[in-house]
Amino acid sequence: MIYLLYGDDDFTIDEALVTLRSEVGLPDVRDVNTAAFDAAVSRAEMMATCDTVPFLADKRLVIVRGLLTRFERHRPSRSRSKSDSATAGLGEWEGLSEYLECVPETTDLVFVDSALSTSNPLLKAVQPHAHSRLFSRPNPTELRQWIRSRVASLGADIESDAVDELAETIGGDLRVVAGELEKLALYRSGEPIRHEDVLEIVSYTRDANIFATVDAILEGRFASAARMVHLILGSGGSPGYLLAMLSRQVRLLILAKDLGARRVPAPERGKRLGLSGYPLQKTMEQERKFRPEQLVKIHRRLMEADLSIKSSSLDEGVVLDLLVAEVAAIQHGGS
């Protein structure tokens, strides 16, 4: 059987590989019947391994990682016909399609890759013979559903606020989310996972609270933002660090606004901003909620707040409360 597992959700891909590996004979002969190669594998070595008879088992598992990705930058010559260009430039992998038709039934050959374009010439050679599955990181709605399903698979339950906290602070990194959910389920020992548990137990979430606070401030959620600011200060957090992270996000929003105005393609915006995945998606969502002049006003308020903390006798909490209120007013159309 030929499999193609590809996409940017490497965690779920790895879980699929665990399932395939469990089907390769008894545990004591599983390792000897499993072979893994990276993108540098030669065609001859891969074929020889696939053609080897399994040892005391019905199946042999051969995993090849990153091979198709090697051909992602290939662009066929315009002078070639469509039939020629489909497999042009494959080098030693020319003719792979013919070999895949006769891979022994005792071998499961699995190609594992990141996201692939439809123009990838090796993809065109492999896909007709493979059981293909695209694994994409979930969007925010899908992520919340995934968290609930994962908790249920652990024999536990979780409150909606806890789901939101995990989704907003960790984002779509399913490997991290899964690890934290296992800790939370063990901690609660059969009881529903609460929002308070996430804040107390999940180290990633504690570290990420600064980002959640920045989001609350920029989204004009005054009550939530003020509460989160005081929680950070009360736990020994630095007001200077909070201002620095807030200023960083505002600068990203200003740059994102400029890139949008100049109609820079979406994939290029991520490169220019130095962001990808959930942070990029969040930044683009926030950018659309502001006019350019609002971002300029917020940036000016941030500099004034920083100066007040460094040069006046005003309480840091008061300065930040005023800043949160001013940003909310600007976000909602005030001066």
- pLDDT, tens digit, for every residue of 218-252? 888 888 788 888 877 776 677 888 888 899 999 99
4-14 confidence digits (pLDDT tens): 999 989 899 99
pLDDT in tens, 48-91: 999 999 998 889 999 999 999 988 864 444 444 444 444 457 88
Cβ–Cβ under 8 Å, residues 168 and 134: no
User: Token match 């053609």: residue?
Assistant: 51
d(CA 192, CA 327) in angstroms, rounded, equals 36
Residue 29 pLDDT exceeds 60: yes
pTM as predicted: 0.58
Q: What residues contact 228, with CB distance under 8 A and at least 6 apart?
A: 209, 212, 213, 216
Compute the residue count for the chain: 335
Residue with token string 């490169």: 271
Find the mean pLDDT for residues 291-315.
Answer: 86
- The CATH architecture annotation of domain 209-331 reads Up-down Bundle (1.20)
Q: CB–CB of 40/31 below 8 Å? A: no
Which pLDDT score, from 0 to 100, does residue 245 have? 87
**Highest mean pLDDT, choosing among 96-100, 136-140, 281-285, 326-330:** 96-100
Residue 204 pLDDT greater than 70, yes or no: no
Taking the mean position of all CA atoms in its chain, how far away is CA 256? 20
In CATH, what number does 2-134 get?
3.40.50.300
Q: 140-201 adopts what CATH topology?
A: Helicase, Ruva Protein; domain 3 (1.10.8)
Where in the chain is CATH 3.40.50.300? 2-134
Residue 335's pLDDT is: 52
d(CA 8, CA 270): 15
pLDDT bin (cut points 50, 70, 90) of residue 200 is: confident
Is a pLDDT exceeding 80 seen at residue 30? yes
- What's the chain's average pLDDT? 86
* pLDDT at 165 (0 to 100): 85
Q: In terms of C-beta density within 10 A (0-12 exposed, 13-18 middle, 19 or more buried), how is residue 242 classed?
A: buried
Instruction: Give the pLDDT of residue 123.
Output: 94
- Start-end ranges of CATH 1.20.272.10 in the chain? 209-331
> Please, where in the chain does CATH 1.10.8.60 lie?
140-201
Q: Is the pLDDT of residue 47 over 70?
A: yes
Contact 269, 259 (CB under 8 A): yes
Quickly count helices (H) and strands (E) in the chain.
Answer: 17, 5
